[in-house]
A and B are shown apart, each in its own frame.
Chain A
Amino acid sequence: MNVGHMGVVAAAADTGVVIGTGETIVFWVLAPVALAGALGMVLSRNAVHSALWLVATMLSLGVFYVVQEAPFLGAAQIIVYTGAIMILFLFVLMLVGRETSDSVVETLRGQRVAAIVLGIGFAGLVGAGVARGAEDLPVIGLAAVQDTAGGPAAGNVEAIAAVLYGRFVLAFEVTGALLIVAAVGALMLTHAEREPGVLRSQKERSRARFLTDRPQTLPGPGVYARANSIAAPGRLPDGGLAPSSFATGVEPVRVDELPRTGSVGAEREGLPHAGGTDAALGTIGGGTTGPVPGSGEGAPR
């Protein structure tokens, strides 16, 4: 938006209801965008897509403010609502998970139809009321109002400041107090009370760990051909299960060995791996039975 155009609009406002060409174009381009954003927000099933549609609507509203000679309001709309609040919404939605879509099952029968009918009815009522109320109001334009609010030829910034810190200063302060109470309340509800000094710093924890017998991390679970989970603990050199690799709260499971010498099935007869893994690897002639690894028999004595 440029200032010259605003000047045109300001001049037009004095004569009545004539709207500048630029403003008309912006309105007819962005009004459908804003409406489509609102509808898309309600209709899209993915929560993140809904949030994005709402962002489109909010951006359009911001541009509308700027076009109607309230640039500060427009910037505040974009910075505060789209820039901060919607990003926080997105933050939460992304933490919920990207595969979360709304269920299309109606839990209450006829709910959807009723909602559509009531919604349209409500919009009609409000629209008609506003149209009826604004019918006979004289149009003077925002520029004229702003001139009187903050002294002669004050801009949008000064006019808002004069109104906010003059006439509505009490409401402004009360709103600020309300927001602070909400923030402090949220902190109080989510804050876990701790004795000061109980939570050790990373440096202290690191030092404490190096004073124990095991400065390094605990061993992870084993990775086997037939199992790869925290329930399959690692093995010690003698084949026994390593207790330090047990996962908390999970019953350790000893993984079955692959068959030593071929499977019982006759279908593997004549295949290269008919003799089992050792034959396939060429490590053993086949047919021998050694101590089964993991039984502890092969441990050094």
Chain B
Amino acid sequence: MTVFAAADQPTLADFGSDVWWIVLIKIVGIFGVLVLMTLFAIVFERKVVARMQQRIGPNRVGPRGYLQSLADGLKLAFKEDIMPALADKPVYFLAPVIATIPAFLAFSVIPLGPTVSIFGERTPLQLIDSPIGVLIVLACSAMGVYGIVLGGWASGSTYPLLGSLRSAAQMISYEIAMGLSIVAVFLYAGSMSTSEIVAAQADGTELSLFGLEFTGPSWFAVLLPVSFVIYVIAVVGETNRAPFDLPEAESELVGGFHTEYSSLKFALFFLAEYINIVTVSALAATLFLGGWRAPWPISIWDGANTGWWPLLWFFAKVVVALFVFVWLRGTLPRLRYDQFMSFGWKVLVPVGLVWILVVATLRAVARETDVDAGEMAVFVGVPIALVLLGGLLLASRMRNRDTRVAAREAAAGGPAPAEPQVLDARGRDRAAGGFPVPPMDLVVPPSPRLRGRESVGAGTVVGTGRRSSSTTPEETDDV
């Protein structure tokens, strides 16, 4: 794939030659950006979910409540740190650290912008790139699993252990789907380096359709729709977010793997989770949404992809991706575990494999027949992808047909009884075939313990569970 080398587009050769203080500035900058993005993402999520649930959300701390997560973070840091008696101490201590460090590391290969000038030094807005850039993100997310698995195991408690087992199985399964979805991008971009993948999405192919000349789409989200859909689904599972938040399903596992954690250790887990969300959002922007390059209407302006402006486009894309995460959480119910696993292994992975086959075949055919690869992608690849996605949609609707029809009939008042059923008022028959219910004229037999003292007369309220009246000294003797 030709790299459309604009003046500001960094290439692999531009990396690794920075002065040490530029490297330091970039490291501190990325650290600051990630922490700020975490604080922002938490408030953003709470406010958006609140709107979706007809609430207002946090509105007390700071201007319009935007400092809420900062206050929560400070509070968390000053809370008591509890070490469970049964914990495996070194591992319990290490687990949150293992979860956090790879989360920060992964962001080092994300390109935030083109080559800019910092204090007179020309340098790309990216800490480092390498021929295997995207694999570094995958490796970091693979390491992040250890934090969660070990945290659950070291807590020495049942729910965390169950949560961490779930999370291990889940993250491995969905990492496979995620890796498969990225392969098609590698095939198209001809590289695994993040900056070159962004460069490959710089310009669309010139297409001519019925004599009409126009520039085709350049984003891989459009050219490789199946990959994009699989990636979006897989990263939700990979980051343990709703509707795939089974490792910390609060209705089943209390808090999941971090049930026993408190104070700063818990804060580290929380930080790692949100950084991972930001990282996969940034990776989605990089791989599929054109990276730091301006979206179409803005890209007409020549200066859009130069200087510091691309930071704005990049973070706008990241925030849109974050919004999708929140939207999913606010909309979808949590999946049952077996459904979740069979979806990953029986739907996402096979579809990903078939799609790679299609993409590789298209690439090979384009090369052999000397057809332009971009043209091939738009006129053959995208229709195949749409057929594939449409087929999946139809298949899922067919599977759920019975339930859907029954639900529609029930909503239309189909099989519901027209009149309320009146049960037989007396005798044991009322309970026949149904739930045991007390008869309407229940006479409570005298309690054997109260013989000779008192009995609860007929008509008194039954079953309040109080015995206060029975301790009164009056004798009634009406047994």
Contacts and interface: CB of A to CB of B under 8 A. Distances in A.
Interface size class, chain A: 35 or more
A94 B145 contact: no
A140 interface: no
Interface residues of B, number: 45
Nearest to A59: B143
Given A82-B142, A298-B448, A87 B135 contact: no
Nearest to A293: B448
Contact of B467 (A7, A75, A157, A283): A283
B448 A72 contact: no
B16 A91 contact: no
B98 to A, nearest CB: 9
Interface string A63-85: 00000000110011011001110
A82 to B, nearest CB: 7
B134 to A, nearest CB: 9
B132 A157 contact: yes
Contacts of B156: 98
Contact of A5 (B16, B131, B139, B467): B16
B441 to A, nearest CB: 13
A290 B172 contact: no
Given A282-B471, A298-B448, A90 B132 contact: no
A283 B467 CA distance: 8
A48 B151 CA distance: 12
Interface in B226-272: none
B433 A288 contact: no
A291 interface: yes
B146 A87 contact: yes
Given A78-B143, A283-B470, A284-B449, A52 B91 contact: yes
Contacts of B453: 284-285
Secondary structure call for the A interface: helix
Given A75-B136, A91-B168, A84 B15 contact: no
A293 B449 CA distance: 9
Contacts of B135: 72, 75-76, 79
A49 interface: yes
A55 B146 contact: yes
A88 interface: yes
B118 interface: no
A3 B132 contact: no
- Among B12, B15, B131, B175, chain A packs the most CB atoms within 10 A around the CB of B131
Contacts of A293: 448-449
B192 interface: yes
A55 B161 CA distance: 20
A23 interface: no
A156 interface: yes
Nearest to A78: B139
Nearest to B161: A94
B449 A94 contact: no
Contact of B16 (A2, A75, A213): A2
A227 B254 CA distance: 28
Nearest to B473: A285
B139 A79 contact: yes
Given A75-B138, A94-B161, 9 more contacts: A71-B131, A75-B139, A79-B135, A79-B138, A79-B139, A84-B142, A87-B142, A90-B168, A155-B131
29 contacts: A2-B16, A3-B12, A3-B16, A3-B130, A4-B17, A6-B16, A46-B88, A48-B88, A48-B153, A62-B139, A72-B131, A72-B135, A75-B138, A75-B139, A78-B142, A78-B143, A79-B142, A83-B175, A87-B149, A90-B150, A90-B153, A155-B131, A156-B131, A157-B132, A203-B403, A278-B449, A283-B471, A284-B450, A300-B445
The 7 closest A-B pairs by CB, nearest first: A83-B142, A3-B16, A2-B16, A4-B16, A298-B448, A75-B135, A78-B139
